[in-house]
Amino acid sequence: MPSQPGGPAGDGPPPALPVTPPGASEATRLLCAGSYLDEAYRQAVIDELYVHEERIVAPSLGFDAARVLAHAMRARLLELSWAAGILFLWVIGTVLSSYLMLVLVVPSLTLFFAARLRGEDPRASLWRRVPALLMRWSGRILVLVTLLVLLAVGIGESDGASIGSIVSLTLPGPLSDVVALLESSGGTVAEPFHGWAVLATLVLVALCVAAQRGQFARALAGELHPGNFGDMAADPAERAGGPRFQRLRTRIRIEQHAPLVMYHSAHPFCGAGEPYDAWTLAVELRPDPGKEQRPLGNRVILDAVRPLFDDLRVPAPHAEGRGRDRLRQLQIDECVFLPVDGLPRRDLAPYEAGAFEAHRDESVEEGGETRRHFLRIRVGGWEEEVVTTVFVRVHTQGGMLMLEVAPHVLLPVRKDFENADRLAHEFRHSSLFGKAMWALGHTPRSFVHAVVTLGRGVAYSWRAITGGYGKALPDGPAASVRELGSDGDSSLFQDMDVRRYLKSIQDRVANGVRTALRDAGYRTDEFAQKIVNVSGGGTLIENASGAFAVGDRNVITNQAAQPGSPGTGPEPGSPFTKSGGGPSGSE
């Protein structure tokens, strides 16, 4: 056998490929970038991990939820700061222009709600796209008309019109009356200074909008760059936050990768991804007459299965050190699922040293309903963007062997999160004219966006302060930030890899159980027959009496056989006859 990396042949299996820490994985980086891109995702992360501090975090397979929360908190702080600055400019411009700037309120509302109605989905339905298109162009026309009016006021072409009459061009009647009441003399004449004050304010707001976008691009080119993301100590998001954030970050990093899983009864596998063809097999333990029977427990079976997965890490001999298959990074461990119900405080969860070992030793043979022991096999493919996890549970009871296999797959990170680097690169390398046009296009609706952002920030802060979640009874995870940031689609290559991982793992599980049965002196023929049917997605038919047909255009009838009648088959007394073009069989 050719030599493998790490030593000559015969020195044992080669070492596994270096594993990227969860906090520096590509999935973590993209989720952190997504917290700057998507406001809804950012709020969902903060709500799950920060506001509801009574919830134990879901298992973080291949990523670091604490670091995602750190960047979500930092992105929200930056967004609130920019929103406050933009709103301050609008207020100052309104005062300086004697409320002439309120002429932009209706265009701002129109453009803001047009964007919300259209949404970010490129495949939005027609009833959303058409009204959004009409609203967007109506808002743009209003903005153009408003800018022309402001320019006319600035160059002195207002002909002595009052500010209230100018605002009434866009504002509804009741609001224009309010503006007239706010004016010092009830009808302030629009002066050139008022028009230029509004235009200057719009330019300053556009600069803030561009600077906010530029700060996001600099973050992706700096701390979120693939070459810098691995240095967690240099990440400014890790050093930010108040005492509450620091306390929650510590708790999250204790819980998220622990082999003890505190779960909510409604969704115990939260964080593992989408279920993928789970199956259960029950087979009777039949002694082999020619062998001596040995005690067969759950631990014996697991000990026979586990070494087979170590062999999956060994590359093919002809690879000569070039093997990069993700199975070389396969991780296998034992985990215990424990319900969170009855826990008085979150910090009293049994994560201390020795507690898991006690739960593992007690639960491996008990076969309980709420506390369950699993063998967990995980393969993190595509830089931890496609995570395949298989939970295996065995139980022997009453002369029966029960085998439960529950595969789960974490789908890839959302496409818009994956395109964050591309968006930042395009903005940083765009021309000055392109940046200016982008900022001017987003300036009119910035007023409503700033108000909504600040209002939402106040609401979330109020909930965190007054909700009493810190003193609430502990609860299991309601959502996984990894699943919230997952896409619903995967490529054909990724699907092929998932199927290959699952087939490899299921085959090793079957071989390990069969080996344990054989070594303990039990027959394996029934198990071998059932495992092929059940694990392959087929249907096992046991003890079928009569005949069955497989194929298309088959018709089976039940009629009394007549002696000597044609078509009665090889056995004249059979009550079943078959007609059609497909194959048939009898048992």
DSSP state letters, 445-497: THHHHHHHHHHHHHHHHHHHHHS-GGGSPPB--S--HHHHTB-S---HHHHHH
Q: How far apart are CA 376 and CA 336, in angstroms?
A: 10
Looking at residue 189, the DSSP 8-state letter turns out to be B
Which contacts qualify for 77-80: CB closer than 8 Å, 24 or more apart?
77/240, 78/212, 78/215, 79/39, 79/212, 79/453, 79/457, 80/453, 80/454, 80/457
What percentage of the chain has pLDDT greater than the value 90? 27
pLDDT of residue 585: 40
Given a contact cutoff of 8 angstroms between Cβ atoms, the answer to whether 274 and 387 are in contact is no
Alpha carbon separation from 15 to 7, 11, 321, 326, 444 (Å, rounded): 9, 11, 11, 13, 59
Dump pLDDT digits (tens) for 484-542: 999 878 889 999 999 999 999 988 898 889 989 888 888 888 888 877 755 554 444 44
pLDDT in tens, 179-201: 555 555 445 666 777 778 888 99
Phi, psi for residue 257 in degrees, rounded to 5 = -115, 15
Instruction: Read off the pLDDT of each residue in 394-418 and give the average, rounded to a whole number.
Output: 90
Supply 272's token pair: 């593992």
Residues 6+ apart with CB under 8 A from 367: 298, 395, 397, 402
User: Above 60 in pLDDT, residue 559?
Assistant: no
Beta carbons of 485 and 48 less than 8 angstroms apart? no
Neighbours of 65 (CB within 10 A): 29
Q: For strand 274-275 and strand 279-284, is the pairing parallel, antiparallel, or unpaired?
A: unpaired
Alpha-carbon Rg for the chain in angstroms: 33
Q: How far apart are CA 531 and CA 516, in angstroms?
A: 15
Q: What are phi and psi of 52, to 5 degrees?
A: -90, 75
Alpha-carbon distances of 404 from 23, 160, 336, 401, 513, rounded to whole Å: 32, 84, 15, 10, 12
What average pLDDT does the segment 430-434 reach?
84
Give mean pLDDT, residues 250-255.
93
Q: What distance in Å separates the CA atoms of residue 166 and residue 144, rounded to the nearest whole number?
A: 15
Is the pLDDT assigned to residue 46 strictly greater than 90? yes
E-strand stretches of 340-475? 372-381, 386-397, 400-410
> Cβ atoms within 10 A of the Cβ of 470, count?
14
**Is the pLDDT reported for residue 414 higher than 80?**
yes
Question: Residue type for 38, please?
Answer: D
Whether the CB-CB separation of 578 and 555 falls below 8 Å is answered with: yes
Q: What letter represents residue 374's amino acid?
A: F
In this prediction, residue 10 carries a pLDDT of: 40
Assess contact for 519 and 303: CB atoms under 8 A: no
| Across 19-47, average pLDDT | 90
At a CB cut-off of 8 Å and minimum separation 6, what does 514 contact? 524, 527, 528, 531
Q: What is the pLDDT of residue 575?
A: 34
Contacts of 194 (CB under 8 A, 6+ apart): 96, 97, 98, 100, 153, 163
309-330 average pLDDT score: 74
pTM over 0.85: no
Q: What is the mean pLDDT of residues 229-258?
A: 88
**The pLDDT value given to residue 67:** 94
Q: Averaged over 66-87, what is the pLDDT?
A: 93
Kindly give the pairing relationship between strand 331-339 and strand 260-263: parallel
Does 313 or 323 have the greater pLDDT score?
313
Interval 459-483 mean pLDDT: 87
Amino acid at 28: T
Model confidence band, residue 371 (pLDDT cutoffs 50, 70, 90) = very high
pLDDT in tens, 448-464: 889 999 998 888 888 88
**pLDDT value for 17:** 62
Position 2 scores a pLDDT of: 40
> Which has the higher per-residue pLDDT, 556 or 580?
556
Beta bridge partners of 475: 55
Residue 83 has what pLDDT? 94
The two structure tokens encoding residue 152: 């006319």
pLDDT at 480 over 90: yes
Decide if 404 contacts 374 (C-beta within 8 A). Answer: no
Interatomic CA distance for residues 408 and 391, integer angstroms:
8
The pLDDT, as a whole number, for residue 11 is 45
Residue 78 pLDDT class (50, 70, 90 cuts): very high
Read off the amino acid at residue 79: E
pLDDT at res. 115: 80
Res. 160 pLDDT band, cuts 50 70 90: low
**CA 201, chain centre distance (Å):** 40
Summary mean pLDDT of the chain: 80
125 or 512: whose pLDDT is higher?
A: 512
